[in-house]
Amino acid sequence: MEAEIGVIGGSGLYSLLEKAEEIEVKTKYGKPSSPITTGKIGNRRIAFLARHGLKHTIPPHLVPYRANIEAFSSIGVKKIIASGAMGSLKVDYKPGDIVFLDQYVNMTHGRQDTFFDGPNVIHLSASEPYCKSLRKSFVDKAVDLGLRYHVSGTVVVINGPRFSTKAESRFFASQGFDVINMTQYPEVSLAREKGMCYIGIGIVTDYDSGLEGREDIKPVTNAEVLRVFEKNVKLIRNLINTTVPELEKGQKSCGCGKLA
């Protein structure tokens, strides 16, 4: 069953789809993180995939990123909407804020992060990894909904599953990065290799290892991440539900489908 738009996220987004059906997709890179659920938002056919598995059993460094993106590609997905928790590295990126990512810095290691393993080698341009057209559509809707958001953000992606030390967090903040996450890479890069549009939507859940000089801001805990994410995931759900029916069909106004 084909779908034009893919959504990657957590359990809080399961209820997005109307008349949902579950399908199993196999790829040459193995099974995706979860069965794919297809259904509709308005008049658009959507596919949903749980990045960490249906019961959140897959750690970030073992997510089968290639299988996930390949599975979406095999059923016709051309646009991916991906949400996830983000730690803040700046005081003005507050817990509960939504961040529409525009750049990433990869600090992961050991991940299967390309489809171009040879003999067909393509050196993909990665200067603009996120789809500008998708980001504009979602930002416009965030304005309409009165959400607290950041129109752009640079995310530094770490391997996980542990959180940062204070020294690491201080270093990332000193480089001017805005937020920190464990799953944006290689997900966004693989989507671009398949010629897909990709938007990364972050929910700020914490201040990573705290902020320099602020004793009142404590280091992150997993319980706090889950609490803030679950509290705010309804905002993402509403944002997706109201934006998707208005998205343009195809890739007319962006260059994401070009590999050179």
Active site residues: 206, 208
Query: In terms of C-beta density within 10 A (0-12 exposed, 13-18 middle, 19 or more buried), how is residue 224 classed?
Result: middle
Q: Yes or no: say if 88 and 206 are a contact pair by the CB < 8 Å rule.
A: yes
Distance CA 26, CA 83 (A): 23
Q: Yes or no: say if 61 and 108 are a contact pair by the CB < 8 Å rule.
A: yes
Distance CA 70, CA 72 (A): 5
Cβ neighbours of 219 (radius 10 Å): 17
Distance CA 131, CA 188 (A): 10
Pairing relationship of beta strands 179-181 and 79-88 according to DSSP bridges: antiparallel
- The dihedral formed by the CA atoms of 84, 90, 96 and 97, expressed in degrees to the nearest 10: -80
